Chains A and B, each alone.
Chain A
Amino acid sequence: MKRLLFSVLAFGLLLTSAQAQTAVQPEQAYAENIQIGLSTDRITITTDFSGADLTIFGALNDVDPQFARQNRYDVVVVLEGPARPVVVRRKDRVLGMWINTQSETFVNVPISYSVATTRPLQDIAQPATYQRLSLGADYMYLQPRDRDALPITIEEFTAALRERKETTGLYSERIGGVQFLSPNLFRATLELAPNVPLGTHRARAFLFKQGLFVRETSAYLAIQKSGLEQSIYRAAHDYSLLYGIFAVALAIVTGWLGRLIFSRD
């Protein structure tokens, strides 16, 4: 009886101490904040562009010094390209030939998706957290156009899409790409693939504290072609007929000049 009382007492004590802890926490709580800065808000791609590294600097405000010392803050930085609908097609053997048969359309697929992290993603937080945040190539939500498609089919095509994007270098992940320069300052190095899409990219930084998501911030970055490439691209899309006529004229002139320069008969 005495023993039981003791254990109840102990339990009560434990409870109060737990309560005390939660009660105390708001005082000690740190309102961590994350900020990132881009040195430029536009990047211009020239004819000789063959991929590049993009460095983003960021700062954490109001961090718990003890946590920071123990490296228990994690940062994930993502550069997300413009989203487009994408059709994923699968080839199957028909009459001995490999032919596109099944396909699945996804409504909003980022053309590029480059990630830099302090540690491997699976070590930072739970998959469920990433899924909720739609963060990381493996966890982001890709909305299929056909809502009645079987989940297993969607899964198969989503995986294939990721795989294709990774082999073409458009989706990349750099573990250790985020480095802390001081407890408050970090530097993220992201990969810009040679075939990085043009348009408005969104840089997003996520702060995790001991596996829990704390805060997110974002900035925009425009990637454009340099003068000539941009004009050609725009002309091809805005004045497509004139562009076609120009292409033909160019070919005729080249052919004619070639004849003039080389003809010896």
Chain B
Amino acid sequence: MNIYLPIAEMSVNGLVVLLMGGAVGFLSGLFGVGGGFLITPLLIFYNIPPAIAVATGANQVIASSMSGALAHFRRRTLDFKLGFVLLVGGIFGSSIGIVVFSWLRSLGQLDLFISLLYVAFLGTVGGLMLVESVNTLRKQRSGAPASLKRAGQHHWVHRLPLKMRFRASKLFVSVIPVLVLGAGIGFLAAIMGVGGGFIMVPALIYLLKVPTNVVIGTSLFQIIFTAAFTTIVHAATNQTVDVVLALLLMLGGVAGAQYGARAGQKLRGEQLRLLLALLVVAVALRLAFDLFVQPADIYSLGPLGEF
């Protein structure tokens, strides 16, 4: 089933793209992340130009985050106020991200930058999660009670001024780290085509001490908007959003996510985290491999960068 992508200007196998979306959707339903960090590299491996992969990835992240956030909204595990503050930062961050994106594209260093960011972030986040989940599993095996609670602890984040109360998250915290976190993730979203869930979730849990049950819903909520903003700005400035490709990915993704969520209920939290960590590390290694191994062709063609 060949499908012509009007923006990427190439034919792809529609079934492969649907399955790709489905597989990523399954994983994102399983782990409660948007799946952007998987879809963009997958599209790049499938020879979609990186600029289009990034912008279209952001577009498909909206759909999966939307359906995830709706579920959390129904379960009342969504902090709108926290999400909104994160969003204000996020919009600011992704505006900067998009300027940097088109600048790098004109320099011909976009692919490098995207790969480096992926390797650095996925490597770090995946590595940390791997260590954490392996430790938890080992402790459980030796009989010690697993505990992630460190609620009583306070560190420098909690001493900053401009405090604000977030009732749903039972938090009283300065808006500065929240805004900075939102901005950082918005920036990454624009450049990497990701919602940033895989960074947002650990950051909210470990840095801001948001209760875990509220984290995923809130993160998904703010990702909808950051990804929407990124998509619109990419479409307006770079014309790199391919709706045909995005629609195929979304259809696969939304369906896959439901099965993923069901499968996720059969696994324990630590096991899920371990699997996610392995997946994240694998993607990072794959990208690092491309960066350090001599490419088959050292030459590449690009359109004249207009900045």
Contact = CB atoms under 8 A, between A and B. Distances in A.
Interface of A: 45-51, 84-93, 96-100, 103, 105, 157, 160-161, 163-165, 167, 194-195, 197-198, 225, 228-230, 232-233, 236-237, 240-241, 243-248, 250-252, 254-259, 262-263, 265
A38 B217 CA distance: 60
A258 B255 contact: yes
Given A46-B4, A87-B302, 15 more contacts: A48-B1, A89-B299, A100-B109, A100-B300, A164-B299, A236-B6, A247-B235, A247-B241, A251-B60, A254-B251, A255-B62, A256-B66, A256-B67, A258-B258, A262-B255
Contacts of A230: 6
A252 B109 CA distance: 32
4 interchain residue pairs of minimum CB distance = A255-B66, A244-B235, A258-B254, A244-B232
A255 B246 contact: no
Contacts of B239: 236-237, 240
Contacts of B65: 255
Contact of B62 (A98, A105, A228, A248): A248
A90 B297 CA distance: 9
Contacts of A246: 243
Interface string B239-282: 10101101100110011011000000000000000000000000
B51 interface: no
A230 B302 CA distance: 23
B2 A251 contact: no
Contacts of A93: 294
Contacts of A103: 108
Contact of A86 (B60, B111, B293, B302): B302
Interface string B105-119: 000110110000000
Given A251-B246, A262-B258, A50 B11 contact: yes
Nearest to A164: B301
Residue with the greatest number of chain B CB neighbours at <10 A, chosen from A50, A89, A96, A225: A89
Q: Give the interface centre of A85, A86, A99, A237 by most chain B CB atoms within 10 Å.
A: A99
B15 interface: no
Contact of A96 (B71, B292, B295): B292
A160 B241 CA distance: 29
A207 B137 CA distance: 77
B231 interface: yes
Contacts of B303: 84-87
Given A244-B232, A247-B241, A254-B251, A98 B291 contact: yes
State the main secondary structure of chain B at its contact with A.
helix
A17 B86 CA distance: 95
Contacts of B224: 252
B68 to A, nearest CB: 8
A254 B305 contact: no
Contacts of B301: 86-89, 161, 164-165
Contact of B236 (A96, A241, A255, A262): A241
Nearest to A101: B108
A229 to B, nearest CB: 4
Contacts of A45: 4
Interface in B165-213: none
Contacts of B295: 91, 98
Contacts of A247: 59, 231-232, 235, 241, 243, 246
B244 to A, nearest CB: 7
A96 B301 CA distance: 22
27 contacts: A47-B4, A47-B244, A49-B4, A85-B303, A86-B303, A86-B304, A87-B302, A87-B305, A88-B300, A92-B298, A97-B112, A100-B108, A161-B299, A228-B6, A240-B237, A244-B233, A245-B232, A247-B231, A247-B241, A247-B243, A248-B232, A251-B246, A256-B66, A256-B67, A257-B254, A258-B258, A259-B71
Given A251-B63, A254-B254, A232 B7 contact: yes
Contacts of B2: 47-50
A254 B250 contact: yes
Contact of A248 (B11, B228, B251): B228
Nearest to B65: A255
Contact of A252 (B10, B62, B112, B251): B62
Contact of B297 (A51, A86, A164, A228): A164
Contacts of A257: 254
